[in-house]
Amino acid sequence: MADDDTIFDKILRGEIPCDRVYEDEWVLCFRDINPQAPVHAVVIPKKKARDVGELCALAPDFVGGYMAGIVKAAQRLGLEGGYRVVFNTGKDAQQSVAYVHAHILGGRVLGWPPG
């Protein structure tokens, strides 16, 4: 687990404000401050993991709760027509915060390939 304090740690503690979309026992979802689509939110787990690999090492019930929280957040965002969930893992994927997080993107037809 990462011991360094990140912006997401500070958001979870309420030290940095965010535009909350959804929250439950597993996740906190808030709107991205630099949206890449008409709807763009970030979903962080309430248990810290540096990346997807560390997330997968957590208890299966926690990982399942996190994934279910992503779906509930997308529903709260009103993305009935579809949405994309993106995890950036590592430097080459442009992961900018060492705290695993999912991006929910939607609100328009999304192109493919994404990269």
- Domain residue limits, the chain: 7-106
pLDDT of residue 115: 66
pLDDT of residue 1: 41
Band of residue 10 on the pLDDT scale cut at 50, 70, 90: very high
What residue type is assigned to position 10 of the chain?
K
109/98 Cα distance (integer angstroms): 29
45/12 Cα distance (integer angstroms): 9
Phi-psi region of 90 (alpha: psi -120 to 50; beta: other; left: phi over 0): left
DSSP readout, 45-105? ESS--SSHHHHHTS-HHHHHHHHHHHHHHHHHTT-TT-EEEEE--SGGGT--SSS--EEEE
Tokens 């990462």 belong to 2
Q: What is the largest CA-CA distance in the chain?
A: 39
- 77-87 pLDDT tens trace: 999 999 999 99
**Single pTM value for the model:** 0.93
CATH 3.40.50.1860 fits 7-106, yes or no: no
pLDDT of residue 3: 57
- N residues, the chain: 115
Query: Which are the catalytic amino acids?
Result: 101
